[in-house]
Structure formats: structure tokens, C-alpha cells
Amino acid sequence: MDIRTCVFVLFGLIGLACAEPVKYIDCGSISGKVVLVDIKPCATQPCQLHKGQSYSVNVTFNSAVESQSSNAVVHGIVAGLPIPFPIPVQDGCKSGIQCPIQKQQKYHYVTALPVKSEYPSIKLVVEWELRDDTKNDLFCIRFPVQIVS
């Protein structure tokens, strides 16, 4: 392998290691505070979600409350209207979180975001909530995506 190839490979690996977290806005987290949002693979922002593929969503947050359970609710916001977006596992306690949730603890919510082939090619905003026992948001985030073929 020549030196140019080695440098190219090295910079490629550095780029992967230094990937930017997803830019999001908090849309009403009451029972917790988001620390980091990461979607893999997401090389650009807004994230381009390819039809027929699945993406890993990882939200790191600090809980401000105790809760026996957690439930995810996901919507796609299209033209200002929330459209339910089904995910395979809605139970946050089966998505990387050890329940019961304790106050003042950090958690890593990890789940899959499947993009069905029949979805239209469109730009939209995803609203992702994780609710506690009292239906308050442990976190509520919004981030832009583009569904592509």
C-alpha cells in the first residue's frame, strides 16, 4: 500500500470516529434532560433515511424522576401535522433502559428506526418522546430527516 492510500484510509477512519451527534431541538422534556442524540448510520444532516433500511437511535438522557416504566411515542411532522410513526419496540425498558428508572441517573435509550419501502420520499421532522409513568416526557426531541429511495 502506498503512502497516499494509507493517508486516505487514515482520514476516512478519523472522519468516522469524529462523527457529529444529530442536531435536535428539545420539544418539552419535563422529567429528564437530553445529553446526546445519535443515529447510525447518519452521515449528513438532515439524516437521509433510505427506504427498506433500519437505523439505530440512541438518546442519552438524565432522569429527573423515578418511574416504573417508559413508553416511546414517535410521530412524523408533515406540513405541521403529527402522523404516528410505528416503531417495533415501544417499551423503553426493553430498549436499553434498566427499569425502574431512578432519579438523577443517566440512561441510554437505544432502539431501531425501520424505514419501510412504501414510505414516500419526503423531508419531515421526527418527534420522539419517551414518557414516564405519569405520561410526562422523560425526553421529547425533534430532528429533521429526509426519506430517500
Would the pLDDT of 3 be above 60? no
pLDDT for 86: 87
Per-domain boundaries in the chain: 21-148
**pLDDT mean over 120-137:** 96
Confidence band for 20, pLDDT divided at 50, 70 and 90: low
Radius of gyration of the chain (CA): 17
User: Domain 21-148 belongs to what topology?
Assistant: Immunoglobulin-like (2.60.40)
> Which carries the bigger pLDDT value, residue 15 or residue 123?
123
Q: Hey, what amino acid is at 128?
A: W
| CB within 8 Å of 72: residues ≥ 6 apart | 87, 89, 90, 91, 92, 95, 109, 111, 128, 129, 130, 131
Tell me the pTM: 0.84
What is the residue-averaged pLDDT of the chain?
88
**40-56 pLDDT tens trace:** 999 899 999 999 999 99
Would the pLDDT of 9 be above 60? no
**pLDDT mean over 17-30:** 81
